[in-house]
Structure 1
Amino acid sequence: MKEVRYFYVPDAENNNELPQEEATHALRVLRLKSGDEMFIMDGTGNFYHAEVSLATNKKCLYEIKETLPQNKTWKGHIHLAIAPTKNMDRIEWMTEKATEIGFDELTFLNCTFSERKVLRTERIEKIVVSAVKQSRKPWKPVVNEMISFKDFISTPRKGRKFIAHCYQEIEKNDLFDIINSDKENESITVLVGPEGDFSIEEVRLAIENGYESISLGQSRLRTETAGLMAVTMSQLSLRL
């Protein structure tokens, strides 16, 4: 039995052609030809059973045979805002694994102690798309451009908002305990700082802007591990 092939096509229902990168993979790697079966995902909750209608050297056209709406496996909206690590391999790994687990939005923060001030979201977007296809997630997380910490926390957001940090002098509660006891909440935003943590002034400013002070367990975690833990805890709390 042939392995089912999945391709990502934004607004797939109103298109009939694979994007260039997807077409290259379909034609040159998988060697699809007219009449071959494929599945398409639009990243907004739908799969499509489709058939290759035309395969040339550069183009792969498709015809949708059946629309297959999917059910989300978690409720609400999970938003991770994280300061990227100096070594991008680590944050790329986290992005891939968090996408496989399932979340809704990713924002990169420019903080006081950030060692990385510039980031190519195009590369992150490709990693997200690949992970969505690999794990067959009907919803693709939104990837936002880097934003300053102050601009992010001053923007109104729905649901409960949390900032994870390591300062002993600021009281904090365990994230998993909080969100597990709040069965009414369906939107979660978690901030994770850079390798040197948020500055204490940033933590206090976030609290002034409605963010709750939290820990992610008893261990001291690397940035990318903390980000993945935040997504996992939120996912487990909001799963259907």
Structure 2
Amino acid sequence: MRNFYLDGLGKNRLIGEFLHVSADDRHHIECVLRLGNGDQVNFLDGEGHCYKVELQGDGQQLLGKILESRYVSPVQPKITLFQGLPKFNKMQQIVRQSTEVGVDRIVPMICKRSIPKYNSRSIHKKVSRWQKISDQSARQSCRYHFINIDPPMNSMSCLTEGSNFDLAILFYELESKFFIRSIINQKKTLESVALFVGPEGGFTIDEVERAKAHGILTASLGHNILRTETAPIVAVSLLVYELRHKDGYE
């Protein structure tokens, strides 16, 4: 069944109530997908609310009559990606693909080796742009919950926050002993996970030591050195895979 996203749906909708479809969505539904009266689709709001509706149109407007409603809880554990700010437009790719593979929150991280320098005005535009990219990616991936893109934080503040998670992992190219699977197998219950990925050039020794001081584990992503835009996608994919195959996360 097709999924469509409508803003402001909320949870207080009644069976039999009619939902109005915007002009843009109506064009896509009627003219592109060739759906119309009597067809059933799902309306989502990106906050977990899902309504099964029957389309009803009169040529002037398109409505959806609610047949069923449900709430889909967020998948556990919630994954936060602390991503070292990269050069150019690489952050757009990271945001898009991280949303696809299952991240719940992204915190752009200003590291010692981060090259981009933003003022408050330009960073506000960047974050707004990244949020739009993430929302688009969530729609394409049919995610029930959109993710949050936070304003950038300096690396030391991010590493301090790492101690608040059930599990926090910093990926470090000089780490050779520990991999995601061995770390996950040591944990019984996880509700929140933080992943730390550095910018081009990786983390400094000071940042790694600060991470360890706050209980953040260091891990390797393998023998090859990965690009900063590749590393988070590999890390999240491996994490999600291991969690889904671990007892309690089937």
After TM superposition, the score normalised by the length of structure 1 is 0.79
Any idea what SS the aligned residue of 2:79 has?
strand
Bigger drift between 150-159 and 207-216 goes to 150-159
Match of 1:67 in 2: 69
Task: Compute the displacement of 1:63 (Å).
Answer: 5.0
Change in Cα spacing, 1:71 to 1:142, as seen in structure 2 (3 Å) is same
- Show the 5 A alignment for 1:18-33: 23=22, 25-31=24-30
Q: Paired residue for 1:213, among 211, 218, 229?
A: 218
- Contact 2:77–2:191 (CA under 8 A) maintained in structure 1: yes
Match of 2:16 in 1: none
Residue 7 in structure 1 maps to residue 12 in structure 2: no
Partners of 1:137 and 1:199 lie apart in 2 by 35
Task: Compute the displacement of 1:102 (Å).
Answer: 1.6
Residue 157 in structure 1 maps to residue 158 in structure 2: no
Q: What amino acid does structure 1 have at the position aligned with 2:104?
A: D
Task: Compute the displacement of 1:70 (Å).
Answer: 3.2
Bigger drift between 188-197 and 74-83 goes to 74-83
Larger radius of gyration: 2
Deviations 1:51-96 (A, max 9, x none): 5678999x97755332133365x531111110132121x3322322
- Contact 1:55–1:61 (CA under 8 A) maintained in structure 2: no
Residue 135 in structure 1 maps to residue 149 in structure 2: no
Change in Cα spacing, 1:109 to 1:65, as seen in structure 2 (3 Å) is same
After TM superposition, the score normalised by the length of structure 2 is 0.77
Identical columns (%)? 24
- Contact 2:5–2:46 (CA under 8 A) maintained in structure 1: no
**Consecutive unaligned residues in structure 1, runs of 5 or more:** none
- Contact 2:10–2:49 (CA under 8 A) maintained in structure 1: no
- Contact 1:12–1:41 (CA under 8 A) maintained in structure 2: no
- Contact 1:12–1:40 (CA under 8 A) maintained in structure 2: no
- Contact 2:30–2:36 (CA under 8 A) maintained in structure 1: no
Partners of 1:84 and 1:115 lie apart in 2 by 8
Q: What amino acid does structure 2 have at the position aligned with 1:160?
A: L
How well do the aligned residues superpose, as a CA RMSD in angstroms?
3.0
Match of 1:43 in 2: 46
Q: What amino acid does structure 2 have at the position aligned with 1:201?
A: D
Partners of 1:14 and 1:71 lie apart in 2 by 16
- Contact 1:107–1:147 (CA under 8 A) maintained in structure 2: yes
**Consecutive unaligned residues in structure 2, runs of 5 or more:** 14-18, 245-249
Bigger drift between 227-236 and 152-161 goes to 152-161
Q: Paired residue for 1:174, among 167, 173, 179?
A: 179
Change in Cα spacing, 1:122 to 1:52, as seen in structure 2 (3 Å) is farther
Change in Cα spacing, 1:107 to 1:29, as seen in structure 2 (3 Å) is same
Match of 1:76 in 2: 77
Q: What amino acid does structure 1 have at the position aligned with 2:105?
A: E
Partners of 2:152 and 2:93 lie apart in 1 by 18
Partners of 1:50 and 1:77 lie apart in 2 by 29
Partners of 1:99 and 1:188 lie apart in 2 by 15
